[in-house]
Chain A
Amino acid sequence: QQQVKQSPQSLIVQKGGISIINCAYENTAFDYFPWYQQFPGKGPALLIAIRPDVSEKKEGRFTISFNKSAKQFSLHIMDSQPGDSATYFCAAFTQGGSEKLVFGKGMKLTVNP
Chain B
Amino acid sequence: DAEITQSPRHKITETGRQVTLACHQTWNHNNMFWYRQDLGHGLRLIHYSYGVHDTNKGEVSDGYSVSRSNTEDLPLTLESAASSQTSVYFCASSPGTDGEKLFFGSGTQLSVL
Contacts and interface: CB of A to CB of B under 8 A. Distances in A.
Interface of A: 6, 32, 34, 36, 41-46, 49, 89, 93, 95-101, 103-106
Contacts of A96: 97
Contact of A99 (B43, B45, B90, B100): B45
A98 B42 contact: no
A60 to B, nearest CB: 18
Given A97-B99, A98-B99, A98-B102, A43 B42 contact: no
27 contacts: A6-B42, A34-B100, A34-B101, A42-B107, A43-B104, A43-B106, A46-B101, A46-B102, A49-B100, A89-B42, A93-B99, A97-B50, A98-B31, A98-B48, A98-B94, A98-B99, A98-B102, A99-B48, A99-B58, A101-B45, A101-B102, A103-B42, A103-B44, A104-B42, A105-B40, A105-B41, A106-B42
Smallest CB-CB A-B distances: 5 pairs: A98-B99, A43-B104, A105-B42, A103-B43, A103-B42
A99 B48 CA distance: 7
Interface of B: 31, 33, 40-45, 48, 50, 56, 58, 90, 92, 94, 97-107
A112 to B, nearest CB: 22
Given A89-B43, A106-B42, A43 B90 contact: yes
Contacts of B99: 93, 97-101
A49 B99 CA distance: 12
Given A6-B42, A43-B105, 11 more contacts: A34-B100, A36-B102, A41-B107, A43-B107, A46-B102, A93-B100, A96-B97, A97-B99, A99-B33, A100-B99, A106-B42
